[in-house]
Structure 1
Amino acid sequence: MSSASTSETDARYRYACEIARAAASRAYSWYQQRQKLVVEHKRDLQDVVSEADRNVEDLIKTLIAERYPDDAVIGEESGGNTQGATYVWVVDPIDGTACFINGLHNWCVSLAVLCEGEAVIGVVCDPNHQELFHARQGQGAWMNETRIHAHNAQHLNEGLLGLSNSSRVPSESVTSLITGLTAQGGMFIRIGSGALTSAWAAAGRLIGYYEAHMNPWDSLPGIVLMREAGGVTNDYLRNDGLKKGNPVLLANAAIYQQIKALVDNSALLD
């Protein structure tokens, strides 16, 4: 990366943190009046969207356009076109909408920025716990002002593994992993927000995170966070992952290999 683009990326990193805080504040205001929300279903009864999602995404896109009008934006609710853009913002205004509308605290604002096709910034903001997870390529990963690091577990039974399932892939992709994990004395947790769970993994609260299929607006922030926290991840963007999504696996090097050995679609995780 040239010195000019490094400076430009640093500026976007600072602004991404500002945007995430502003969006999380807006989302939290909606959360406090969630009983009044208009809620719709997308692909199935578990895939929901509310007027809060669209309102917060509009805010994020407006803030990006004000400062970086030439940057592209891909939003979960509104899509986007990346053609010709050096910088691409990938945003989920509320990851964990089902938790959000049901009064559970497991939701967040999720942002990532790509430069020339590479994920270089990841930000996850959890307003319920006043925690901002943020990372910039080459500058480490942080929770608010505290440096974070991946868990140092060397075996699957040394902590909790974050998991999620997706209706876009067969359920066996996660049930086989659970069987293998529990057989080795491991335990798992699913909270309803992949972006927040992966941030927890980057912070060492979990030994890792796996999901058989994840969209880019949920996956890319955690991928940047984990890499900067000293862990490893699969090559998520391969095979047109930005458009189609891909599996996500992130953990320290030892746990990564142990989880990969239990996953049916491990060929996609190389």
Structure 2
Amino acid sequence: MDSDQLEQRARVAATVVREAGALALDYFRRRGDLRIDSKGLQDMVSQADRECEDLIFARLSEAFPADSFLGEEGGLRGTGSAMWVVDPIDGTANFVRGIPHWCVSIGLIEDGRALCGVLYDPVADELFAGVAGGGATLNGAPIGVTGETDLRKARVGIGFSYRTPVAPHPGDIHALLDAGCEYLRLGSGALGLAYTAAGRLDGYFERHINLWDVAGGLIIVAEAGGRLSDFMTPDVVAEGNEILVATPGIYDQLRGLFDA
């Protein structure tokens, strides 16, 4: 994909993510009327998730009919090498409980590489964006990771999914606290990556996360100067993977803690 094609996709994605965010925010404000279904242990989906994904698919498939599309709710559609990967509401558990920490995530992947990503938090009206070779921004202003090198001054986001065994999770928290590092568990992996890119966190770790949760944030972290684990393995679409992103000065220290 050449630079003009990529820039065009990035512009359209930014417009679409705002439109989907406005729809999701409307549902958030009247969430008492939402139909909510269970997909598994502590895993929910709402009418808002489905309708936001349908909107995003309609807009992107109209603009780029040759591209494929992977949505959390609707699965894979199309066979194009450039693939849009969408989480219509990352942080649904927060969303349905009225906790204002969730976002709409859109990422573009081609040949195993994240090329562009947009994450929109409509409650805060914050649009995080990144394009390969073009930097990372928050509402149009450049952002970057913290540059922290001392774990005793760091704060790391951490996630958990019941798709993985419970036992390692408290061990990970114990390891962070033993190292003098603070942690947060906020319930949105996408925003965990965005906050790392913007310097609000020094890193984010989750032992298993799906591609749609992080596809929008991968390039944002990379373009903000962060270091990322090898997430884009050949089976990541079907299987997900572990994710670690951090400001470079503490990445190896965190890797050592979580691998111990």
TM-score, normalised via structure 1 length? 0.93
Distance 2:38 2:223 in 1: 35
| Equivalent residue number for residue 183 of structure 1 | 178
| Equivalent residue number for residue 60 of structure 1 | 56
1:97-120: per-residue Cα shift (whole Å, max 9, x none)?
Answer: 111111100100011001233111
The code of the aligned residue for 1:240 comes to: D
The code of the aligned residue for 2:52 comes to: V
Whether the 8 Å contact between 1:226 and 1:232 is mirrored in structure 2 is yes
SS in 2 for 1:29: helix
Whether the 8 Å contact between 2:147 and 2:248 is mirrored in structure 1 is no
Distance 2:199 2:78 in 1: 33
SS in 1 for 2:183: strand
- Per mean C-alpha deviation after superposition, the further-off stretch among 120-129 and 218-227 is 218-227
The code of the aligned residue for 2:94 comes to: C
SS in 2 for 1:121: strand
1:201-240 superposed matches below 5 A: 201-240=196-235
The structural deviation recorded for 1:167 is: 0.8
Whether the 8 Å contact between 2:196 and 2:247 is mirrored in structure 1 is no
SS in 2 for 1:151: coil
Distance 2:153 2:141 in 1: 23
- Which portions of structure 1, spanning 4 or more consecutive aligned residues, are displaced by more than 3 angstroms? none
Structure 1 unmatched ranges of 5 or more:
none
- Alpha-carbon distance change, 212 to 82 in structure 1, aligned in 2, over 3 angstroms: farther
SS in 2 for 1:120: strand
The structural deviation recorded for 1:177 is: 1.7
1:153-182: per-residue Cα shift (whole Å, max 9, x none)?
Answer: 102121310111111111233222211110
SS in 1 for 2:251: helix
The structural deviation recorded for 1:239 is: 4.1
Query: Equivalent of 1:38, from 20, 35, 38?
Result: 35
Structure 2 unmatched ranges of 5 or more:
none
Matched, 1:251 2:246: yes
Whether the 8 Å contact between 2:71 and 2:85 is mirrored in structure 1 is yes
TM-score, normalised via structure 2 length? 0.97
The structural deviation recorded for 1:145 is: 1.6
| Equivalent residue number for residue 6 of structure 2 | 9
- Per mean C-alpha deviation after superposition, the further-off stretch among 167-176 and 100-109 is 167-176
Matched, 1:51 2:47: yes
The code of the aligned residue for 1:109 comes to: V
The structural deviation recorded for 1:26 is: 0.6
Distance 1:57 1:229 in 2: 27
The structural deviation recorded for 1:201 is: 0.8
- Alpha-carbon distance change, 211 to 82 in structure 1, aligned in 2, over 3 angstroms: farther
Aligned-pair identity (%): 39
